[in-house]
Amino acid sequence: MPIGYDYRCPKCNHQWILFSKRFAIGPSQWGETKYTCFSCQTFLSVATSLDSNSWAMWYRNHYDDMHQNSVTAQLAGTINDIFSKQRGLTPITLNFSMIGCPTCGDSMSTVPFGQHLMKCPECKQYTGEFDDGDGISIYAFPDAEHGTEPSDAPKSPIGREFES
């Protein structure tokens, strides 16, 4: 069940809820760069080091996932281009300086989640604070009929997002 995070903007008093969304590109066993969207709470992991064989295999297995989203499809295409121009089997290092969010298109950041304020959907400034005034709330999707459940979730989302 996804956990909804409460945010509040002290400038305009707007309150809103965000649900994490996750994307990953490439196998992660040789390291990954984690990008975060501070507008919509989307997380994107991109492999930092790749060789053409492991990429080709990963891409085959994740082809449909990659092509369900134009941003991931484009990034996968860029990686394919790099390998098509490369000779030999030396692993490449990927370093995208600018990535647009696969969900909302805003530019993503490599600042870890929890160390940056969120973009307020009302006044469009990065002023949104995690609102733990009433403790964390769990927002169930409609298939759960029992409404709000007691939470053993941490008081703060910091450091929790990439643990799984």
Catalog residues that contact Zn ion under the rule CB under 5 A: 9, 11-12, 14, 37, 39-40, 42, 101, 103-104, 106, 120, 122-123
28 phi-psi bin (left φ>0, alpha ψ -120 to 50, beta other): alpha
**Nearer to Zn ion (CB atom), residue 50 or residue 66:** 66
What separation, in Å, do the N-terminal and C-terminal C-alpha atoms of the chain show?
14
Question: Distance between CA 87 and CA 70 in Å, rounded?
Answer: 28
Output b/e per residue, 109-138; b: 16+ Cβ within 10 A: beeebeeeebbbeeeeeebbebbeeeebbb
Give me the least distance between CB of 23 and Zn ion, in Å please.
Answer: 11
Give me the least distance between CB of 123 and Zn ion, in Å please.
Answer: 3
Give me the least distance between CB of 72 and Zn ion, in Å please.
Answer: 13
Contact 91, 30 (CB under 8 A): yes
**Nearer to Zn ion (CB atom), residue 39 or residue 72:** 39
Contact 32, 38 (CB under 8 A): no
Give me the least distance between CB of 130 and Zn ion, in Å please.
Answer: 14
**Nearer to Zn ion (CB atom), residue 91 or residue 100:** 100
**Nearer to Zn ion (CB atom), residue 63 or residue 126:** 126
